[in-house]
Amino acid sequence: MDSTDHQSSSLTTYLAVYVVILVISGLQILIAYENIDAYRIFIRMLLLAIIQAGLAVTFFMHMRSEKRTLALFLLPAAVFVLAMMNMIWSDSFRLLNMRPFAH
Amino acid sequence: MSEAHLTVSHSPDMETQEAPAFSISHKKLVMWLFIISDAITFGALLFAYGYLRNATPDWPRPFEAPSVINAYVMTFILVTSSLTMLIAIRAARAGDKSRAMTWSFITVVGGLIFALLHIKEWLGLIGEGLRLFSNPWGSNLFGAAFFSITGLHLTHVVGGCIAITVVTLGYKRGRYNHEDLEIWGLYWHFVDLVWMFVVPFVYLLNIKH
């Protein structure tokens, strides 16, 4: 009954994704040592990590061979929750400016 | 393993089999649902860490080159173990049981090496004075954030090693099939995926400049 019997990608595809993921990890290390402000480092790290995650989900976890409705069911909901929990970042900056326990 | 049957009435000729949702087995769907919920859990933990770090002027940045190299080695081992799990599943799908088991156990060994490197790193940091609620470098929040995020991930790695071992041994006995291996392969790739977020946010953003 499993409609995904054909879902194995070739070993070459897996190896290519594997190498790309490791190269991106190396890039993240280079970015970490760059002399730019923390916010820009953070955004670049986040974008690269999302690309790595996308590759892992698509190829390693075979999402590209699954029915589109499965991806539509799982991923937008997860992304929505992850995005929404970041709604209160303004409070973090408020705490930074208030510095309630500053010596 | 057969799909569940949903009987609409008790008369045998009226028995109806419900099509599996998204054309995947329930076991696989449950694993995906677990993965999504676990991703959100890690997301919450990482967000809480980010929120605290942003609000803390004296956040310590203790990681030097050896820690960064260690983190990359651990990444390499974990991503490679994801690849070996894929090879195992391919072999299982092709019916090559012994090859599937070999690559499955190689995956477990990779996970265990990752865990040992991680514990070694923890012991090093503890030796330098890092505790859950204190450290010699800066804000007391650092230890709790670091140990909770990496500790939860380490728990997932060890749990995955145990699960994959159990399923592989069951696969050998005939209790489980290639799909069960594949389902735990999904879990293992998820654990790898989480690490791809932990390294940049917990290690690389806290490099000593």
- Inter-chain touch B23–A3, beta carbons under 8 Å: yes
pLDDT for res B130: 95
Burial of B200 (0-12, 13-18, 19+ CB in 10 A): buried
- Residue A101 is predicted with a pLDDT of 63
Per-residue pLDDT at A76 exceeds 90 = yes
d(CA B206, CA A85): 23
Q: What is the pLDDT of residues B108-120, one digit of tens each?
A: 999 999 999 999 9
Q: Hey, are the CB atoms on A2 and B57 less than 8 Å from each other?
A: no
Please name every residue paired with B16 in a beta bridge, in sequence order, or none if there are none: B6
Contacts of B200 in chain A (CB under 8 A): 28, 32, 45-46, 48-49
SS3 B207: strand
A21 CB neighbours in chain B (<8 A) are 79, 196
Please judge whether B87 and A11 are an interchain contact, meaning their C-beta atoms are less than 8 angstroms apart. Answer: yes
Nearest chain B CA: its distance from A90 CA (Å): 9
What's the CATH number for B25-53+63-206?
Answer: 1.20.120.80
Q: Which residues pair with B15 in a beta bridge?
A: B7
Torsion sign across C-alpha atoms B100, B105, B110, B114: positive
Question: Per-residue pLDDT for A5 more than 50?
Answer: no
How high is the pLDDT of residue B19? Answer: 82
pLDDT of A2: 43
| pLDDT value at B123 more than 80 | yes
Per residue in B34-53, pLDDT tens? 999 999 999 999 999 999 99
Report the gap between the CA of A69 and the closest CA in chain B (Å): 6
| Cβ distance of B22 and A81 shorter than 8 Å | no
The kind and range of the H/E element at B50 are helix B26-54
CA distances from B194 to A2, A52, A79, B191 (A): 27, 10, 14, 5
Total CB pairs under 8 A between chain A and B: 131
Q: Which of A8, A45, A93 sits opposite B90 (nearest CB)?
A: A8
For residues A99 and B110, which has the higher predicted lDDT (pLDDT)? B110
**Residue range B66-105, pLDDT digits in tens:** 999 999 999 999 999 999 999 999 999 999 999 999 999 9
Contact A11 B20 (CB under 8 A): no
Distance from CA of B11 to the nearest CA of A (A): 24
- At B161, the amino acid letter reads C
SS3 content of chain A, % helix, strand, coil (to 5): 75, 0, 25
Task: Give the model's pLDDT for residue B8.
Answer: 46
- Tell me what pLDDT residue A57 has: 94
What average pLDDT does range B174-182 have in this prediction? 94
Q: What is the pLDDT of residue A36?
A: 87
What's residue A56's pLDDT? 95
Looking at chain A, which residue has its C-alpha nearest residue B58?
Answer: A102
> Which single residue is written with the structure tokens 């140990």?
B147
